[in-house]
Amino acid sequence: MGLHHTRKPRLKTLTALGFALALGLSAPAFAEAPASSAGTAIAIMQATSALQSGDCASALKPLNQLWHDPYLEQNDPELAAQFRFQLVACTADTQGLPAALALSVENMARAKDISAYDLHTFLQLASKQPMAAAATLEAALTRFPDQAPKLTDTTVVGVLIQIHDSQPAMTQSLLNHLEETRWQIHNVTGRPLMGYLRLQALRVAVKAGDTVHAELYRADLKTDSLFYIVSQGDGTISDVALASDPIGPVLLREIEDVKAVITANPADLTALSYLMGLEKMNGQDALALTQLNGILALVDQYGIDKFGGQQVYPDLLAERGALYANVGRFNDAGKAFEEGATKLGAGKANEVLVAYMKFLVDNGREKEALALEGRIDITALDGGQAGTVLATEACAMGYAGDTATFARFIGLLKGRDLLQVKPYLCAGNSDAAAMALISAISNPALRDDVIFDLQNDLPPIALGNRDEVFVTALEALKGRADVQAAAKANNIIVRKWTVRMN
- Res. 28: pLDDT tops 60: no
Closest CA to 95 of 16, 193, 41: 16
- The answer on pLDDT for 488 being more than 90 is yes
Sequence-separated (6 or more) residues with CB below 8 Å from residue 106: none
Q: What are phi and psi of 344, to 5 degrees?
A: -80, -30
Reported as a pLDDT band with limits 50, 70 and 90, residue 37 is low
Give the pLDDT of residue 4. Answer: 65
Write down the pLDDT at residue 11.
26
Amino acid 38: pLDDT: 64
For the chain, the average pLDDT equals: 91
- Identify the bridge partners of residue 308 per DSSP, sorted by sequence position: 268
Please give the Cα distance from 376 to 496 (Å, whole number). 38
Burial class of 429 by CB neighbour count within 10 A (0 to 12, 13 to 18, 19+): middle
| Section 129-133 average pLDDT | 97
Q: Contact 213/201 with Cβ under 8 angstroms?
A: yes
Mean pLDDT of 424-447: 97
Of the candidates 366, 359, 284, 262, the one whose C-alpha atom is nearest the C-alpha of residue 317 is 359
How buried is 476 (Cβ within 10 angstroms: 0-12 exposed, 13-18 middle, 19+ buried)?
Answer: middle
Domain ranges of the chain: 266-342, 345-414, 415-502
439 pLDDT above the threshold of 60: yes
* pLDDT for 2 beyond 50: yes
pLDDT score, position 130: 96
Q: What percent of the chain is modeled with pLDDT above 70?
A: 93
- Is the pLDDT at 313 greater than 90, yes or no? yes
CB 9 within 8 A of CB 278: yes
* pLDDT, tens only, 215-262: 999 999 999 999 999 999 999 999 999 999 999 999 999 999 999 999
Residue in 494, 502, 8 with CA at minimum distance from that of residue 233: 494
- pLDDT of 22 over the 80 cut: no
Instruction: Tell me: pLDDT of 88 over 70.
Output: yes
- Summarize the confidence of residues 408-432 as an average pLDDT: 96
Whether the per-residue pLDDT at 86 is higher than 60: the answer is yes
From the list 110, 112, 111, 59, the residue with the least C-alpha distance to 86 is: 59
Say if residue 9's pLDDT is above 70: no
CB atoms within 10 A of CB 21: 12
> Stretch 414-440: mean pLDDT, rounded?
97
Percent of the chain residues past pLDDT 90, beyond the cut: 79
Q: Residue 464 is which amino acid?
A: G
Give the integer Cα–Cα distance in Å for 87 and 10.
Answer: 38
User: Amino acid letter at 382?
Assistant: D
pLDDT reported for residue 25: 41
Separation of alpha carbons 457 and 36, rounded Å: 69
Residue type, 278: L
Contact assessment for residue 158 and residue 187, using Cβ atoms and an 8 Å cutoff: no
66-78 pLDDT, tens digit per residue, is 888 888 888 888 8
| Residue 53 or 211, more confident | 211
Calculate mean pLDDT across residues 408-414.
95
Q: What is the DSSP letter of 304?
A: G
3-state SS assignment for residue 456: strand
Output the pTM of the full model: 0.87
3-state secondary structure 72-118: HHHHCHHHHHHHHHHHHHHHHHHHCHHHHHHHHHHHHHCCCCCHHHH
Question: What secondary structure letter does DSSP report for 234?
Answer: B
**Buried b or exposed e, range 101-123, using 16+ CB within 10 angstroms:** bebbeebbeebebbbbbbbbbbb
Task: Give residue 1's pLDDT.
Answer: 52
